[in-house]
Amino acid sequence: MPQLNPTPWFLIMTLSWLTFTLIIQPKLLLFTTTNTPSIKPTMTTRTLPWNWPWT
């Protein structure tokens, strides 16, 4: 069964991960976000109890 032979697939997987970690990932990490996150104050809402007609 050829799909159980890891020889060609291990090399392909290793080369793809090396390509990603050494070439693509540093280029992606150089991008800056356009909208910087800001901390907004949390607003508390006041809820009113519901008046049930049968109680």
Angle at 49 between CA 47 and CA 52, to 5 degrees: 150
Mean pLDDT of all residues in 21-36? 83
Q: Is 55 exposed, middle or buried (0-12, 13-18, 19+ CB in 10 A)?
A: exposed
Residue 42 pLDDT exceeds 70:
yes
Angle at 25 between CA 13 and CA 9, to 5 degrees: 5
Residue 8 pLDDT exceeds 90:
no
DSSP 7: H
Residue 1 pLDDT exceeds 80:
no
Tell me what pLDDT residue 24 has. 87
Average pLDDT of the chain to the nearest whole number: 82
Within 10 angstroms of residue 15's Cβ, the number of other Cβ atoms is 10
Tell me what pLDDT residue 55 has. 60
**Tokens (6 digits) for 47:** 């809820």
